[in-house]
Chain A
Amino acid sequence: DGGITQSPKYLFRKEGQNVTLSCEQNLNHDAMYWYRQDPGQGLRLIYYSQIVNDFQKGDIAEGYSVSREKKESFPLTVTSAQKNPTAFYLCASSNAGMANEKLFFGSGTQLSVL
């Protein structure tokens, strides 16, 4: 089946530790996105990538890093610089450009700090 796969579903981070969230899509989409969602809040954009080997910061990029070495993969690293990482993280993809295109979302990763 075509879609977006996020793993793991639950992740725990120790103080000072970097962790990486996986996002893979087999939809042949050019664009991929990472959002963060806090309880009772909407989604906030962390990073996005419109093409392989290129990505841009969203509204809350500090403390996060990404890479886009392959079209189908867009991993997100939550670094130790992110002081409040506990949140629900969502990955999405779409065809290149946002006009008249819909986003497809993964099922999310819940990150918690030990």
Chain B
Amino acid sequence: DAKTTQPPSMDCAEGRAANLPCNHSTISGNEYVYWYRQIHSQGPQYIIHGLKNNETNEMASLIITEDRKSSTLILPHATLRDTAVYYCIALLYNTDKLIFGTGTRLQVFP
């Protein structure tokens, strides 16, 4: 699986957009990019995933660069409940396992 690199921590003001970057420069053409988040002492929660095109759901938007070497998760209007560790994972199509890194700790402040 491609290695992903994320900043260890970020801050965001409540109500503002949170933009979480992820580098995956070694990603191959059939590797999906997944985002999960983990609120303290809970199980990770799926947010969104994509392959080439930008994706949007009720939780977030995922912007993938044209060369697919990086992506950005956007939480359009961050709330205090969005404070969590966010994991970016590049997953090879049809592999058996999902490998998590250390993620980005997002702190949303009032």
Residue contact A98 to B42, C-beta cutoff 8 Å: no
Residues on B lying within 8 angstroms of A by beta carbon are 32, 34, 36, 41-46, 49, 87, 91, 93-103
CB of A90 closer than 8 Å to a CB of B: yes
In the A-B complex, the 8 residue pairs with the closest CB atoms: A105-B43, A102-B46, A43-B100, A42-B100, A99-B93, A99-B94, A42-B102, A42-B101
**A90 & B43 in contact (Cβ 8 Å cutoff):** yes
**With the chains together, A79 CA to B3 CA distance in Å?**
31
Interface size in chain A (residues, C-beta < 8 A): 30
Q: How many A-B residue pairs have CB under 8 A?
A: 63
Nearest-neighbour CB distance to chain A for B60, whole angstroms, equals 13
Which residue of A has the minimal Cβ distance to B47?
A: A102
> 26 A-B residue contacts at CB 8 Å?
A31-B96, A40-B102, A42-B102, A43-B100, A44-B100, A45-B98, A45-B99, A48-B96, A48-B97, A50-B96, A88-B41, A90-B43, A98-B91, A98-B94, A98-B97, A99-B32, A99-B95, A100-B32, A100-B93, A102-B34, A102-B49, A103-B98, A105-B44, A106-B43, A107-B42, A110-B41
Interface membership of A58, Cβ < 8 A: yes
Point out residues on A near B: beta carbons under 8 Å: 4, 31, 33, 35, 40-45, 48, 50, 56, 58-59, 88, 90, 92, 97-100, 102-108, 110
CA distance A110 to B43 in the complex (A): 12
Q: Known pairs A45-B98, A98-B91. 15 more at Cβ < 8 A?
A: A35-B100, A42-B87, A42-B102, A43-B44, A90-B43, A98-B94, A98-B96, A98-B97, A99-B91, A100-B32, A100-B49, A102-B34, A103-B46, A106-B43, A107-B43
Q: What CA separation (Å) do A88 and B42 show in the bound complex?
A: 9
